[in-house]
Structure 1
């Protein structure tokens, strides 16, 4: 059986090796979202998701942006459903109601943070991280240069991280 030639821009290393090489950059990005032990938990969650979904990554595309998108989604997911589970729950119905309440509260909190972004930044952030659109797709949809899209995305991430830090201080 003949193997297909790899595209010229692809990385031929096994996915796990490419993931291991990308971990320092992933940790740096995660540090902008969370601090301390939560950072390592986020990195571990992203690595686990990446390994489970390795086949969905196109080796012709850089791994780092894919991991950053996964990290932000994991961070939002954690905040929308509540970061911590109760240690023991005497009544399962209470736990379900508590989880639902926590998820609603976290969703409202994330929406509050997103609401504090400039409309263009929020739109770009949601298109990129929630809808999974590429920079090129966003650029075409919004009729803006890709550089402007990148700037909006960077500012939105930086602002969310700053809001998170202020929230942690309170």
Structure 2
């Protein structure tokens, strides 16, 4: 039976009627995106894989009660984010850094941070295949609370207000964490970005 051309809503309806192939198509449609999101937040392949499985298990269980069936992608993203944050809290891996605390480089040098014009921000480098690996490594050096807002806002394209709602924090806190994360990434990618700039 041909199901690939069906909408999410139609696939959910069929899955709720017991058609396993319909859920398999939903899984294929969203699996990679959910995994990438979780890998960005967790910075660990095993955790991301485990949580991806849990997201789709919950999706399978919740499909009959899903209110907005046309917005399955958003529901999966929200569920994935919540599961990731819960796991980080359980593992006590989240470092609740003070936003007023000094930011230090790898050599221990303190740097003053401030919100800068995002034009030319190094986060745009995520789209460049040459820089993507360097950016991923740099993201891994951020604390989980800063990495999560970067992944949700810059990589998933969510507005600041939606990130705040998903994480249960004020909009101002999201903006502050993004500003601090931007500066940290500029420092971590400084040499690489300067080399790229010289070639332009």
Q: What TM-score do the two structures reach when normalised by structure 2?
A: 0.40
Q: Which has the higher helix share?
A: 1
Q: What TM-score do the two structures reach when normalised by structure 1?
A: 0.46
